[in-house]
Structures are given as structure tokens and as C-alpha cells.
Amino acid sequence: MSKAATTKTARKPTTAEGACVCGAVRFEIDVPAVWAWHDHGATTRHAHGAAYATYVGTWRSRLRVTEGEDNLSRYENAETRTARSFCTTCGTPVFYERPRAPKMVNIPRALFASRTGREPRYHLNLTESADWEYRGEPLGPLKGFPGVQWERPKRKKPREPGGML
């Protein structure tokens, strides 16, 4: 931690910066963000190629693309009336816009290296979540594979005593 950050006069950061994987697209938002949430919906799962995505929502007016705006490609889904922008070089999902909140832009939380002023405490679209999504089941080390944790298969119920007859 820098000396300035430990003094009483240090100010909290007023912006949080983010970037795509290759760094061609860079942006910043004013903090704190409006909210942060986990989206377990099917289209987000598909778009991210992941079990779910965690977003930080910001007012459009508090978002600035500082580099690489021309490097963003935008996909508009006519059915859901949502728009997803991604980096044309590395494919990182960058912005997600929904008709429900037209003045808001959602940004994957993972694109920010620093805090955004909001913890992701909300879970949306849980009814659409994948049955293979990790839900905190107990894990144990996998013998012979250091660093790998796994969920032991559930034991089958023993047969009814009369079932053998």
C-alpha cells in the first residue's frame, strides 16, 4: 500500500478502470457503481461460455471508453432486445445492455482490477441456472492430482432388503 493511501487525508478512488484481455479496449466508471449482480440466465451463460457471469452495473453517463472504442463489436439480439459488445481482437465480453434498464450498462466484474464500490450480492435468473453450476457442494482433494478439488459422487441408496428376492 502506498504511503498516500494510509494517511488520513487519502481519498477513496473516484473511478475504477477496466480492460479486455488484450488491452485494446479500456474504460472507466465512476465509483461506487450502482450495483453488482450474478446473472445465471441462459443467454449470458452462452455468451460468456461460463456457468454464470458477474456484472457491475453503471449509469451510461458514468461510463467512459478511454481506448479502443473502434475495437468494440456489438451484437444485438432481436428476440431479447439486449445488446452485447465485445473486443474484436480478443473476444472478451465488455458491455451488456438490457431494455429493462436503458440508462444502465452492465460490465463483467472480472474486467476491473480494482474495487467498484459494490459487492455482488444479487442473483438473477436462478431458475435458468445450469444443473452443472457449482453451488458450494463440499469438495475434497483428488488423490494424485495436486491442486485439484472434486465433489465426491453421491452414494447410491442401498437396496431394500426385500429387493433381492
Q: What residues line the site for Zn ion (CB under 5 A)? A: 20, 22, 24, 87, 89-90
Question: What span, in angstroms and rounded, lies between the C-alpha atoms of 107 and 84?
Answer: 10
User: Would you say 21 or 148 has its CB closer to Zn ion?
Assistant: 21
Task: Tell me the closest approach of the beta carbon of residue 97 to Zn ion, in angstroms.
Answer: 19
Question: What span, in angstroms and rounded, lies between the C-alpha atoms of 67 and 62?
Answer: 16
CA 142 to chain centre: 27
User: Would you say 27 or 37 has its CB closer to Zn ion?
Assistant: 27
Smallest CA-to-CA distance from 37 within 133, 107, 122, 127 is with 122
Task: Tell me the closest approach of the beta carbon of residue 63 to Zn ion, in angstroms.
Answer: 17
Task: Tell me the closest approach of the beta carbon of residue 87 to Zn ion, in angstroms.
Answer: 3
In one-letter notation, the amino acid at residue 85 is S
Task: Tell me the closest approach of the beta carbon of residue 72 to Zn ion, in angstroms.
Answer: 9
Smallest CA-to-CA distance from 52 within 124, 112, 117 is with 124
User: Would you say 89 or 125 has its CB closer to Zn ion?
Assistant: 89
Which residue of the chain is nearest Zn ion when measured via CB? 87
User: Would you say 21 or 42 has its CB closer to Zn ion?
Assistant: 21
Task: Indicate the helix (H) or strand (E) that contains 130.
Answer: none
